[in-house]
Copies of this chain bind each other. A is one copy, B any other.
Amino acid sequence: MPIRTSVPDTTSAIDRSHPEFPVAELVDEDNFFKDHTPPAYLPEIEAQVREFIAHHQTTGKNVVLVTSGGTTVPLENNTVRFIDNFSAGTRGATSAEYFLENGYAVIFLHREFSLLPYSRHYSHTTNCFLDYMDEADGKIEINKKFADEMLLVLRKYRHAKDSNLLLLIPYTTVNQYLYTLQLISKCLQVAGKKALFYLAAAVSDFFLPSSKIPEHKIQSQATGTLVVNLEQVPKFLRRLVDSWAPSAMIVSFKLETDANILILKAKGALERYQHQLVIGNLLQTRKDEVVFVTSTDERWIRLTEEQKGVVDIESLIIPEVIAAHTDWTERQ
């Protein structure tokens, strides 16, 4: 299927040719980009990302790309219905904070309206926005219950923003996610080994190819059933490892609900994609324990009973990931 021509060509930023692979060997990943239109705003994002990375070429900081939140798969072109992957973005938003505290610059590629570093403490909670506010002497103020802690969080947030340490890039659909991931990966090549990929987003495994998406809202049929024929999203991790970011360290996540297959799936991903680390977790216990799986090792990181519900497990995960990054860098 040819690239659509009805949409303005905003693809110049994207290398579609993959000169390292002759045309005859194009795989699903390459075909995806041939068959799907890039988001129109991509050149804008490219400018921001390039500026951010160039800045940290001068500061000398390591740069981590943290991906976070679910992706949507539209079932209609004027999107009313879509398939989504459950994720509030807690893992990604929390991890981003600990990367910042440990000296990394962070590109935070996140699902729009999912949790963000720092503001996560106050959104998606049982409090609504205005429950943090109070009126005193005819003026609005932060409720005294929250003010002291919020000031500490605000200072960290402001430091990250003012020091240009945190770049927020939103996406919604799996198509936007993949195009943006590709773009950022290629921009990050200049950072070499200093680049780290921490892929915590819950990316859909299945999608509806654009050629099959109806223009209008699907109407109920007399039969009363709706059959959705989804295709597998190509395994982009392969392209990330072998051509988009060949000199960076890559950490992927494996989320399962069945404990019996978690390690097996994590090992399978490592063997297939040949990257450095898979962090495995179960939906039910993901806030209390994760397992680091490498080609030679598997090691659980767990909160103690006393730490559960009190300590972010990401405060244990991130220093370990950074140690692995440092170690890996030295071995290159």
Q: Which residues of A contact B (CB under 8 A)?
A: 72, 75-76, 78-86, 113, 116, 118-119, 122-124, 128-130, 133, 135, 138-142, 147, 150-151, 153-155, 157-158, 202, 204-206, 215-218, 220, 224-232, 255-258, 283-284
Give the residue name and chain of the B residue nearest to A149 (CB). B140
Q: CB < 8 Å: which of B83, B124, B153 contacts A83?
A: B83
Q: Output the nearest chain B residue to A214 by Cβ-Cβ distance.
A: B257
Alpha-carbon gap, A157 to B132, bound state (A): 12
B129, A216: Cβ atoms under 8 Å? no
Which residues does chain B contribute within 8 Å of A283, judged by CB atoms? 78, 80, 217
State the majority secondary structure of interface residues on A.
mixed
- Residue in B113, B118, B227, B255 whose beta carbon sits within 8 Å of that of A228 in the complex: B227
Copies of the polypeptide in the assembly: 2
Interfacial chain B residues near A82, Cβ < 8 Å: 83-84, 86
Inside 8 A of A150's CB, which chain B residues have their CB?
A: 133, 140
Residues of B contacting A202 in the complex (Cβ-Cβ under 8 angstroms):
80
With A80-B283, A84-B84, A224-B231 already in contact, the answer to whether A118 and B130 are too (CB < 8 A) is: yes
* Alpha-carbon gap, A80 to B206, bound state (A): 13
CA gap between A12 and B269 in the complex, in Å: 48
20 intermolecular pairs with C-beta atoms under 8 Å apart: A72-B84, A76-B257, A80-B255, A81-B83, A84-B84, A116-B128, A118-B128, A118-B130, A130-B154, A130-B157, A130-B158, A133-B142, A133-B154, A135-B154, A135-B155, A206-B220, A216-B258, A226-B229, A226-B230, A227-B227
In angstroms, how far is the closest chain B Cβ from the Cβ of A51?
Answer: 19
Contact across chains for B130 and A153 when beta carbons are under 8 A apart: yes
A129 touches B139 (CB 8 A): no
Which residues of chain B are near A142, meaning CB under 8 Å? Answer: 133, 140-142
Closest 8 A-B residue pairs measured CB to CB?
A: A78-B257, A119-B129, A224-B232, A119-B128, A140-B151, A226-B230, A228-B228, A216-B258
Q: Is the CB of A204 within 8 A of B130?
A: no
CB distance from A118 to the nearest CB of B (A): 6
Closest to A232 in B: B224
Report Cα–Cα, A226/B75, bound state, in Å: 14
Q: Is the pair A140, B128 in contact by a Cβ cutoff of 8 Å?
A: no
Q: Which residue from chain B places its CB closest to the CB of A155 in the assembled complex?
A: B135
**Chain B residues within an 8 Å CB radius of A256:** 216-217
Across-interface contacts of A116 in B (CB, < 8 A) = 128
Among A79, A150, A153, A206, max chain B CB count under 10 A is at A206
Q: A217 to B257, Cβ gap below 8 A?
A: yes
Q: Give every chain B residue within 8 A of A216 (Cβ-Cβ).
A: 256-258
Residues on the B chain within 8 Å of A83, using CB: 75, 81-84
- Cα of A284 to Cα of B77 in the assembled complex, Å: 12
A-B contacts besides A141-B142, A206-B220, A217-B255, 11 pairs, CB < 8 Å: A82-B83, A83-B84, A118-B128, A118-B130, A122-B130, A130-B157, A130-B158, A135-B155, A140-B150, A226-B231, A228-B230
